[in-house]
Amino acid sequence: MSKRISRRGFLTATAAAIVAPMVVPASVLGKGGATPPSERITVAGIGIHGRGSGDMEWLLGNDDVQVLAICDLWKQQREKIKDMIDRHYGNKDCAMYRDIREFLVERPDIDAVLIATGDHWHAQAAVRSMRAGKDVYTEKPSCMTIAEGEAVVDAARKYGRVYQTGTQRLSEANHVFAIEMARTGRLGKVSTAYAHIAPWDSAKMGNAWKPEEPLPPKEEIDWDIWLGPCPWRPFNKAYVSGDWRGVYDFHTSCIGEWGAHTFAQAYAGLDVNGKPPCKYQYVDNDSGDGMVCTFPNGQKMVLSRGDKYWYGSCGERFDGERGWVGAADGYSAPEASSPDILAEYKQVVGEYVARTGRSLDHMRNFLDCVKSREQTVANALVMHNSMQAVHAANICMWLGRDLEFDPETKMFVNDDEANRMRARAQREPWVI
């Protein structure tokens, strides 16, 4: 049959195409409540493990998001997350990448990334992603040192990126109520905040090597990328599978594990202008339980392990002239020293939403800010300010003495040894 078509045949075919209805899925047109592709935020996952799988499901629950790719140095895991994403969309379109450097170069079409690597990669991946023009939602603790936190803040500012750290309790109504009761003066003058630290591991972490195992092919597990900026050590799959907590190179201790959440919660309710404490009082135990951190205005934050002030996890509590209020995971409602304080719950939370315009959904707050270019509730500066206190408290425990920190210079006062711990050497080429 000839491939040529007459003018009359062409016109007849064209007319038929115009008359005949085109079958286009309603989702493509944005009908039926669906968001058209042109208005969707394109996203990729980086290192989605454990908690990150829940984050990915949370992200996929938003109709204005399209997840296009997964980057993970572990083949087993990237295939698992690809399958999750493909099943959600009913296709096989999710792309896979092993090396974050190649991924960031090859995918300029992606707007934002979800980072849920091990702790030692959070700042590394965030800074590299922001340099590549991506907005960032990252799990916590979001930096391993004070210097890394500064690098994240600088990158967000320099490249104009939206950044959210995964301290999701800043967006949960019970915690918002406790924070707002303190922040707005409804408790009277607040003297002390209590911040929960994790009930496992020690502040004084070890650095022993696990037994060496045969190194797998890079395509299976890229060990060099997994180590990233950390010192080289022999391969052991247990690290890749998640058994890295409690190791100095990879973790921020029991203080950082929950303090990454609870210090930010305490800051939000105190009148400290986002600045970290200036004094850290050493406590002679292995966790930091009971450490008193004093702010320049005299307010205090007390690190607490166990159930002295709450019965759930990741709790904060504020003590004021009128009484106290606190919240933690597992609470159906906040707790307070009197029913009168709790009677203001709906009003206080409602006023917060009206004032800020923020969603009481942490992921949704991030996505809204990707569109509006406004600051998120847990932006880079919020993260850095609270993590400075995490790192300062850790250094206090490691050195075994009281420390004084200058929030303006971000340096320890008259303590060269402590100041050397503000940063860690980074292994080439993983320097940010």
β-pair type (112-115, 135-138): parallel
pTM, to two decimals: 0.91
34: left (phi over 0), alpha (psi -120 to 50) or beta: beta
Cα distance between residue 318 and residue 336, in whole Å: 9
What integer pLDDT is reported at residue 58 of this predicted model?
A: 98
Cβ 113 vs Cβ 29: under 8 Å: no
Q: Report CA dihedral (399, 405, 407, 408) to the nearest 10 degrees.
A: -120
Cβ 255 vs Cβ 203: under 8 Å: yes
Say which CATH topology domain 169-204+251-420 has: Dihydrodipicolinate Reductase; domain 2 (3.30.360)
Confidence of residue 21 (pLDDT cuts 50, 70, 90): very low
Residue 142 CB coordination number (10 Å): 29
What does the DSSP assignment read for 245-292? TTBTTT--HHHHHHHHHHHHHHHHHSSSTTPPPSEE---SSSS-TT-E
What integer pLDDT is reported at residue 33 of this predicted model?
A: 57
- 3-state class of 405 per DSSP? strand
pLDDT in tens, 356-410: 999 999 999 999 999 999 999 999 999 999 999 999 999 999 999 999 999 999 9
Task: Check pLDDT > 50 for residue 153.
Answer: yes
Residue 291: both structure tokens together: 């450490």
Which of 190, 140, 165 is CA-nearest to residue 317?
A: 190
What integer pLDDT is reported at residue 35 of this predicted model?
A: 74
Domain spans in the chain, listed from the N-terminal domain onward: 169-204+251-420
Higher pLDDT, 227 or 25: 227
Confidence of residue 4 (pLDDT cuts 50, 70, 90): very low
pLDDT cut 90: percent of the chain above it: 90
Burial zone of 178 (CB within 10 Å; 0-12 exposed, 13-18 middle, 19+ buried): buried
